[in-house]
Amino acid sequence: MPTVLITGASRGLGLEFARQYAADGWRVIATCRNPAGARELAGLGGGVDVHALDVTDHGRIQALAKTLKRDAIDVLINGAGIYGPRPAPLGGVNYAAWAEVLRVNAMAPLTVSEGFDDHVARSDLKRIVTITSRMGSIADNDSGGSYIYRSSKAALNAVMKSLSVDLRPRGITVVVIHPGWVKTDMGGPSALIDPEESVSAMRKVIAGLTMEDSGRFFNYDGPEIPW
């Protein structure tokens, strides 16, 4: 039975990843800050192990990695993320909030990946997948603004590109995926697709990954996105 570890699994895309992988018979290790309040996640059943985890708390990450030290993790999905204050226009950037968004969106995924790289390395599939955004693409930015969120995702992309190089000798494939504009708390009700469609398509991309794909930036349905 393959195993997936998902951060940010209490809602949105993380919850849908947990639901779909569990339905397909995977062992799901789902993490969120407050399991007691994650009723939908708890309702997924016995194939889902739920653990409390604040991805900005390095000590808790290391403690969970130690708890799971005997487990191989086929797919690690860094799904936890925040948008930050909206809007964040020129002249109206909240710099204290910017630092927190960078901690969650760019630093935490590296800390989680470092904490569990040994678990991934001893699995069969050996994949680290991080949910990013097309808004982190410098080449694709023709509308400006959104300084906080854009920069956090651009930083995340750079971090994961470096991680792909460093983990290549261990046979670990590292990619970032844009999930589309999804109807979640972050995406809002005007978004174009629902979480089920987004996650189903991303899972197809994840299932088809090879080492040749490591270090690449994908759209949820497969095409590559420019950095």
Contact at 8 Å (CB) between 2 and 47?
Answer: no
Can you give the pLDDT at residue 87?
84
Cis peptide before 87 (omega within 30 of 0): yes
Q: Is residue 97 a part of any domain in this protein?
A: yes
* Positions marked catalytic: 133, 149, 153
Write out the residue range of the structural domain in which residue 162 sits.
3-219
Average pLDDT over all residues of the chain: 96
Task: For 44, list phi and psi in degrees, rounded to 5.
Answer: -75, -20
Q: Is residue 224 a part of any domain in this protein?
A: no
What are the tens digits of pLDDT across the range 125-182?
999 999 999 999 999 999 999 999 999 999 999 999 999 999 999 999 999 999 999 9
Q: Is the pLDDT of residue 196 over 90?
A: yes
Of 126, 130, 120, nearest to 159 by C-alpha is 130
Contact at 8 Å (CB) between 217 and 205?
Answer: no
Q: Is residue 225 a part of any domain in this protein?
A: no
Q: Is residue 227 a part of any domain in this protein?
A: no
Q: What band does 101 get if pLDDT is binned at 50, 70 and 90?
A: very high
CATH number, domain of 28, equals 3.40.50.720
Q: Is residue 226 a part of any domain in this protein?
A: no
Domain count within the chain: 1
Q: Is residue 111 a part of any domain in this protein?
A: yes
Return the H-helix or E-strand segment holding 116.
helix 108-121
Q: Is the pLDDT of residue 88 over 90?
A: no
The DSSP bridge partners found for residue 6 are 30, 77
CA diameter of the chain: 52
Q: Which residue has the tokens 């985890």?
A: 53
Contact at 8 Å (CB) between 126 and 120?
Answer: yes
